[in-house]
Every structure is written in structure tokens, then in C-alpha cells.
Amino acid sequence: MSKITRLLGIAATTLTGLGAVKRKRMIDAASPELRNRQLWLPLSMRGPRSLKVGRTMMGKQPLVPATCSVRAETASAGGSTPVPVLVYDRPDRTTPSGALLWIHGGGLVMGTAEQANELCSRFVNDLGIVVVNVDYRLAPEHPFPAGLDDCYTALTWLHQHATELGVDPTRIAVGGDSAGGCLAASLAQMALDRGGPAVCFQLLQYPMLDDRTALRRDIDGLLWSNTSNRYAWSAYLGHAAGGDEVRPWAVPARRIDMKGLPAAWIGVGSIDLFHDEDLTYAERLREAGVECELHVVPGMYHAAERFAPKAPAMVDFIDRMVAALRGAIAG
């Protein structure tokens, strides 16, 4: 019996009454092509035990296709903590090319760089760029600013090694999914405030941007619930989500002045927990004169492309991400 089958059996016995009614209503709101039995899993992270389960459920990581090479490196810059990174490339790449610093998702408390193997390889093969994928430190073991500092170190390393990597330093973008989108947005802010390293574009895939969403009781989400959201933000920030937070770059949506940030693409589903905060962030970027393309997929829940990768809406969603990055950094 598979792990998922066992968990579905647990779900059948634990998700009853009002919980089952609520879950059914949420699943019914999803686009039919995106519905999946795993959406019935009632897992939410509340503490160390459920975090351990969540980390275990991340499962096997996708392989890198033969058309793309990947190698492990250790990024370091100045006296910063060395950071493991994966560098994706292809042998026939025209140099110098653009580059993407990719940051994986997982609520700031889960995940590894390898989980993005397939997407990073797609960027390399389709666009002829280099992708550097950061294996940053996770909360709660390493709360803010550890993970963000790791991303800044990786970005600095990418710039410092641009010549040997065959990269044009004026065409370096940052991007990430979910919590990785949070760190990518924070990284763009940090780089702007520190006067570099330069970032030319932000590719934000259903980004986790605002800890204050965790205080809302009127919304919830499939796969990533607001219970998990509250736990993850609290683990990362070191205090209750939605509380006082004045540290720069800790929460991207709390930034007051958006002027001068690099252009962005933001993609999110209409029933994603992060839908409202993502739309607000996009509007604020535009109001500050920052170019921002926003793409909202009707009936899409959080990370739906992982559960229905061949659904036309998900194929289109990833195609749009690739196209946006192509327009920003491809030669």
C-alpha cells in the first residue's frame, strides 16, 4: 500500500462533519481538470510532528533530463555562510546568456532544491540560459534572515562568477514558487536597497508574500491551508504571524515604497490562498511605476500543476512563465 493510499484512508476517517462539507465545497470550486483524490488529504502543519509529516510527503524528486546538465556547487561571498546550489546548463548554450536564480517553495519550512529539477531544466532547455537553484536553510531551525541571507549569497556568487559561467550580469533574474516567491521578492528588495547585485526581473509563481493573510478567517486554501500558513510564517519570523514586524525584507508585502524594483510576472490561481495578497502586491508594484504582468488562472488551487501537470490550463500556466522569462532575459 502506497503512502498516499494510506493517507487517503486516514482522511476518510478523520475528515467528517463540517470539515468534510468545507473540503467538498473547496474541491467543487476547483476547475474539473484540476481535481484530484489527493485534495481530500486534511494535512495542515501545526507543529513539529506535522512538519515532519509534511517534509516526508515531499517525496521523490524529479530527474534532470539528459538534454540538460546539473552540477552541485557551493556558493560563498565574503564572510557569508556557504550555500549549496545546483547549476543547470546545456552544452550548446550561446554565451554570454541570461541567468535565473531560482528559489524553491515549501512554506519556508520544507523542500529542497532538487524538487525544482524539472522546471529549472525546462528554463535551460527552452531559453538557453543558466539556472542557479538555491538550497537555502529552512525555518524553524533557521528563522529569518537565514534563508534570505543564503539567497543573497547565491545571487552575489552568481554575479561574481558571471564570466566563468558565461552569464551576462545585466540579465540576471530571480524567481521562485510559493515560499520561494516570497524569498525572491524579498531578495529583489534587499538587492535594491543595498545597491546590488543587480536584478533585472522577478518571476513569482503563486508567491507567499504577506503574513497578515494568516490572520484572516474568511479564506482558506487547498493543499496549503491558512493553518499551515500561520505556522510557517510564525516559524520563519520567530513570532506570531500578523504581529508587529518592522525588519526590512522579512515580509515582502509590508514594504512601503515599491519604486525602483525590477519588473515582475506574478501567476496565481483564483482559489489559491495567496490570490488576494498576490493581486494586491501586483497593484502596488504598478502604482509605483513597476511593470508587472499578472496572470490569474480560474479554478486553480495552490501548486495545482504538480497534481495535474497535463491539464491544458497548467500547460498554459507554465508556458506563460517561460514566455515571461524569455522576454526578460533570453537573448
Catalytic residue among 177, 211, 272, 278: 272
Is 199 among the domain residues? yes
Helix 48-57 to helix 226-237 angle, to the nearest 10 degrees? 110
87 and 7 share one domain: no
Q: Which of 231, 80, 241 is nearest to 151 (CA)?
A: 80
Q: Does 211 qualify as catalytic in the annotation?
A: no
> What span, in angstroms and rounded, lies between the C-alpha atoms of 137 and 153?
12
If asked whether residues 141 and 250 sit together in one domain, one would say yes
125 lies in the same domain as 37: no
| Residue 63 covered by a domain | no
Look at residue 103 and tell me if it is in a domain. yes
Evaluate whether residue 25 is within a structural domain.
yes
Retrieve residue 277's grid coordinates.
495578497
Predicted local confidence at residue 18, as pLDDT: 53
Known catalytic membership, residue 272: yes
Q: Is residue 59 part of a domain?
A: no
How many angstroms separate the Cα of 230 from the Cα of each of 3, 107, 145, 215?
26, 10, 18, 8
90 within a domain of the structure (yes/no): yes
Tell me whether residue 61 is in a domain.
no
Q: Domain range spanning residue 210?
A: 68-329
Query: What pLDDT does residue 41 have?
Result: 75
Q: Give the residues of the chain that fall short of pLDDT 70.
A: 1-18, 42-43, 59-60, 331
* Span 173-202, pLDDT tens digits: 999 999 999 999 999 999 999 999 999 999
DSSP 289: T
Q: Across-strand partners of 295?
A: 267
CATH of the domain at 235: 3.40.50.1820
| Nearest in space to 87 (alpha carbons), one of 95, 104, 99 | 99
> Out of 178, 225, 228, 234, which one is annotated catalytic?
178
Q: How many domains does the chain have?
A: 2
Q: Smallest Cα–Cα separation from 213: which of 293, 281, 146, 304? A: 281
Return d(Cα 93, Cα 125) in angstroms, integer: 9
Sheet containing strand 83-89, edge to edge, reads 69-75, 83-89, 130-134, 97-103, 167-177, 201-205, 263-269, 292-297
Strand 130-134 to strand 97-103: parallel, antiparallel, or no bridges (unpaired)?
parallel
How far, CA to CA in Å, does 19 sit from each of 11, 50, 166? 11, 18, 53
Interatomic CA distance for residues 231 and 222, integer angstroms:
16
- pLDDT at position 53 is 87
45 CB-contact burial (10 Å; exposed 0-12 / middle 13-18 / buried 19+): buried
Q: What is the pLDDT of residue 218?
A: 92
Which three cell numbers mark 60?
A: 521523490
In terms of domains, do 123 and 197 share one? yes
247, part of any domain: yes
pTM to 2 decimals? 0.94
Tell me, yes or no, whether 297 and 165 share the same domain: yes
Catalytic residue, chosen from 142, 159, 275, 302, is 302
Question: How far apart, in whole angstroms, are the C-alpha atoms of residue 206 and residue 226?
Answer: 15
Counting DSSP H helices and E strands in the chain, the numbers are 10, 8
* Known catalytic residue at 178: yes
